[in-house]
Amino acid sequence: MTTGDEMRDEILLAALPHVPFDGWSVTALARGAVDAGHDAAAVKRLFPGGAPTMIAAHNRYADQIMLEELARRDLDTMKVRERIITAVRVRLEQNAPHREAVRRGLATLALPHHAALATRLLYRTVDAMWHAAGDTSTDYNFYTKRALLAGVYSATLMCWLNDNSDDFQATWAFLDRRVAEVLQVPKVMARAGRVLGRLPDPFRLLRTARST
């Protein structure tokens, strides 16, 4: 018997090809439900919040698939820099067939009233990456690393969305440069930690997101 979570994922995945045409909408979900062999009426029950609920569900699913793939990689033999690069690449590569859906999702999250959700989803993704990379920090470095990776991931994501090179080689070169800049310059890490300490309100979302 299909559980609610399984049905949600099945409908979501079937809806992704419709998102470039219908947006993150009930219409796309209804079509996905039919394609997946489910009753379209289940859409409102499984995705009560409309587009934000859909995007959050897709982000959660993508994080889960990323972690499953990273668990199959021999990360223990890699340097931290290589682990982070691998995590970002896996996260983007798994969404390559749905790049336009990701683009439209980002456009929705860019709206001012979705700022808190956008921050929470970004934090959860980079937090998952750092945990997969074996990060065990508990001091200010914990949040510094996540804030820095959020910048790297966001910039790489935008590069990837506009990359027309073969096999996204331009994106991977960009990612290599950004990770090298961030992880190999201790002064940047320390400076970011001091900035986080002076700006408690915006970054409080990062701390509360991990516990929700």
pTM, entire model: 0.84
Mean pLDDT of the chain: 87
Q: Residue 40: which pLDDT band, with cuts at 50, 70 and 90?
A: confident
Contact 15, 54 (CB under 8 A): yes
d(CA 90, CA 169): 14
Percent of the chain with pLDDT over 70: 84
**Helical ranges in 73-168 per DSSP H:** 80-93, 99-109, 115-132, 140-161
Q: Is the pLDDT of residue 128 over 80?
A: yes
Q: Is the pLDDT of residue 124 over 80?
A: yes
Contact 119, 199 (CB under 8 A): no
pLDDT at 140: 73
pLDDT at 14: 94
Least confident of 42-46, 99-103, 144-148, 174-178: 42-46
Angle at the Cα of 49 (from 112 to 117), degrees rounded to 5?
A: 35
Instruction: Please write the tens of the pLDDT for every residue from 91-112.
Output: 999 999 999 999 999 999 999 9
Instruction: Please write the tens of the pLDDT for every residue from 164-206.
Output: 999 999 999 999 999 988 766 545 555 655 655 555 555 455 5
Give the pLDDT mean for 52-70. 95
pLDDT at 1: 46
Query: Is residue 135 helix, strand or coil?
Result: coil
pLDDT at 39: 85
Residue 62 corresponds to which tokens in the numbers above? 């993508």
Contact 155, 182 (CB under 8 A): no
Q: Where are the domains of the chain?
A: 1-48, 50-209
Instruction: Write out the CATH class of domain 50-209.
Output: mainly alpha
Of the candidates 58, 65, 49, 64, the one whose C-alpha atom is nearest the C-alpha of residue 14 is: 58
pLDDT at 195: 56
Give the pLDDT mean for 18-47. 89
pLDDT at 193: 57
Instruction: Please write the tens of the pLDDT for every residue from 70-85.
Output: 999 999 999 989 999 9
Q: What are phi and psi of 128, to 5 degrees?
A: -60, -40
Q: Is the pLDDT of residue 161 over 80?
A: yes
Q: Which of residues 193 and 158 earns the better pLDDT score?
A: 158
Interhelix angle 200-209/186-198, nearest 10 degrees: 100
